Amino acid sequence: MEESLDSYVDKGLVKTYLFTAVIWLCIATTVGFLLSVKFWWPAFLSNIPYLAFPRLQMVHVNGVAFAWLFTAFFGVSYYYVPRLTRQKLFWVKGAWLLYFLWNFIVVAAVIEFLLGNNKGLPYAEIPIWINYIVVVAVVIYAINIFGTIFTRQENQLYVSLWYLMAAIVWSALNYIIGNWIPYYWATGNEGAMLNGFYFHNVVGMMVTPLGLAIAYYVLPIGTDRPIYSHKLSLIGFFALAFIYPFTGAHHYIYSPIPVWVQTIAIVTSVLLIIPVWVVITNFFGTMKGKWTKLTESIPVKFVILGSVFYLLTCFQGPMQSLRSMQKIIHFTDWVVGHAHMALYGAFSLFIFAAIYLMWPIISGKEMDKKLGNWHFWLGFVGFSIMAMVLWAAGLIQGILWIAQVPFLNTVWDIQPYWVIRTVAGAMMVLSFFVLLYNMWKTNKEAASMD
């Protein structure tokens, strides 16, 4: 049955998107690595203004979010949407147009950041002229996905399609709210609140549904078993839709925004445990009796580890939104550790799972399993070390600041942790290059077999 669905997929298109996404991943995280060196060696690259810390920071963060995650989300969806709908893509030329437009957006944003041009809004730094092109890109994508789904031959709408369609609508709304309103009309506190709403929803209403759509697709195929409960998947979907949008202000606890806004953000952040628990019950339920797959199948390995990190992220999130915890961790490295656990630990791993599932089918050859395991373990060990040192550093910073230790002294105290973060980050970057090499090698060997 899997084989017969192949004919609906434009393999060249998916291959190009996925390979490009992984190239962006390698570039954006190499920049993250350079950035991490600047923490313990401030003179590093300091005489080149284009490579100043804030500029590289924007390249890294926007690079992993928009160049890596979103290029990959587009590519993976061009694989699973035709299969789940039993319908070829509605507008293949549109998908290619989006490819060139998206890469133009990424290159233009990187140049603008290196030149020091940005909007000064976290996660919405991209200059406004580029935002207009992003809107065109999202419209092209929406026409393609909705067009394919509306003309589908398969009656049932699998949960991945629910998440994908919702993500497109939420992304459009959130992007407009986050990029235009705080820039033109709402400055000061209101602008900050809207910005918090926006950037937390980049994760919650854009990346989360797109990532879960992938996990829900990969797991049943990887384990050769239907999803444990469709009812649970729908409960998880609606719980996310109704709870997530109100959580963003938890980034502004103890700041001069209304206390009731902060309290609503805390309450909804705690309630987020519900959709997460539902998703995890569904994933682990699907694994029942199939746990041996964890050692045999690389996609299953990635999707299950991603689910564990998803659970940990979404347990840590509610906990750290509480005022008692915020008192210590606000503005510290703890939050950076948390951000990496969500965007690398959960959602990047779901994409890796999809790549290992799809690449053999679209290239026509199995991937090298040994290299796959190197990718998995280097990334896992590297990330685990990085997360631990960031959380430890964050707690130390918070406690020293409360004790009113002079700021510069606290910087010295944290230095060893930052050095370890660089070493751990290097392991992660290496793991991404291993993936890139594995994809290139598989493709080359497949071509030589023809």
**Per rule CB under 6 A, is residue 300 in the interface with ligand HEM?**
no
CA dihedral (198, 95, 237, 357) positive or negative: negative
Cβ closer to ligand HEM: 60 or 83? 60
Q: Of 416, 411, 388, which is closest to residue 401 (Cα–Cα)?
A: 411
The residue among 57 and 118 lying less far from ligand HEM, judged by its C-beta, is 57
**Contact present, 375 and 353 (Cβ < 8 Å):** no
248 near ligand HEM, rule: CB under 6 A = no
3-class secondary structure for the chain? CCHHHHHHCCHHHHHHHHHHHHHHHHHHHHHHHHHHHHHHCCCCCCCCHHHCHHHHHHHHHHHHHHHHHHHHHHHHHHHHHHHHHCCCCCCHHHHHHHHHHHHHHHHHHHHHHHCCCCCCCCCCCCCHHHHHHHHHHHHHHHHHHHHHHHCCCCCCCCHHHHHHHHHHHHHHHHHHHHHCHHHHHCCHHHHHHHHHHHHHHHHHHHHHHHHHHHHHHHHHHHHCCCCCCHHHHHHHHHHHHHHHHHCHHHHHCCCCCCHHHHHHHHHHHHHCHHHHHHHHHHHHHHHCCCCCHHHHCHHHHHHHHHHHHHHHHHHHHHHHHCHHHHHHHCCCHHHHHHHHHHHHHHHHHHHHHHHHHHHHHHHCCCCCHHHHHHHHHHHHHHHHHHHHHHHHHHHHHHHHHHCCCCHHHHHHHHHHHHHHHHHHHHHHHHHHHHHHHHHHHHHHHHHHHC
Instruction: Choose the stretch contacting ligand HEM; rule: CB under 6 A; options: 27-35, 147-155, 214-222, 401-409.
Output: 27-35
269 binding ligand HEM? (CB under 6 A): no
Q: How far is the CB of 420 from ligand HEM (least distance, A)?
A: 10
344 interacts with ligand HEM by CB under 6 A: yes
* 32 interacts with ligand HEM by CB under 6 A: yes
Nearest CB to ligand HEM, comparing residues 13 and 305: 305
One of 5, 26, 33, 441 touching ligand HEM (CB under 6 A): 33
Q: From CA 400, how far away is CA 199, in angstroms rounded?
A: 28
Does 60 participate in binding ligand HEM (rule CB under 6 A)? yes
Beta carbon nearer to ligand HEM, 165 or 429: 429
State yes or no: residue 67 binds ligand HEM (CB under 6 A): no
Considering the rule CB under 6 A, would residue 36 count as an interface residue with ligand HEM?
Answer: yes
Structure tokens at 314: 């979404």
Minimum CB–partner distance for residue 192 and ligand HEM (Å): 15
**Residue (325 or 339) nearer to ligand HEM, CB:** 339
> How many positions of this chain bind ligand HEM (CB under 6 A)?
21
Binder of ligand HEM out of 328, 339, 385, 388 (CB under 6 A): 339
394 binds ligand HEM (CB under 6 A): no
Both tokens of 338, joined, read 């948390």
Return the number of the residue (282 or 321) whose C-beta is nearest ligand HEM.
321
Smallest gap from Cβ 313 to ligand HEM, in A, equals: 12
CA pair distance 420, 415, nearest whole angstrom? 9
Least separation in angstroms between CB 404 and ligand HEM: 22
Q: With binding defined as CB under 6 A, does residue 332 bind ligand HEM?
A: no
Determine the residue type at 392.
A
| Position 29 contacts ligand HEM (CB under 6 A) | yes
Q: Binding ligand HEM by CB under 6 A: which of 61, 106, 212, 355?
A: 61
One of 195, 348, 363, 438 touching ligand HEM (CB under 6 A)? 348
Residue 83 interacts with ligand HEM (CB under 6 A): yes or no: no
The token duo for 337 is: 């550790």
Q: Which stretch binds ligand HEM (CB under 6 A): 56-64, 79-87, 167-175, 238-246?
A: 56-64
Q: Does 57 bind ligand HEM (CB under 6 A)?
A: yes
82 binds ligand HEM (CB under 6 A): no
Q: State yes or no: residue 421 binds ligand HEM (CB under 6 A).
A: yes
Tell me which of 51, 139, 336, 436 binds ligand HEM, using CB under 6 A.
Answer: 336
Query: Which of these ranges, 33-41, 168-176, 279-287, 439-447, lies near ligand HEM under the rule CB under 6 A?
Result: 33-41
Please give the residues from 168 up to 207 whose contact with ligand HEM meets the rule CB under 6 A: none
Contact set with ligand HEM (CB under 6 A): 29, 32-33, 35-36, 57, 60-61, 64, 335-336, 339-340, 343-344, 348, 421-422, 425, 428-429
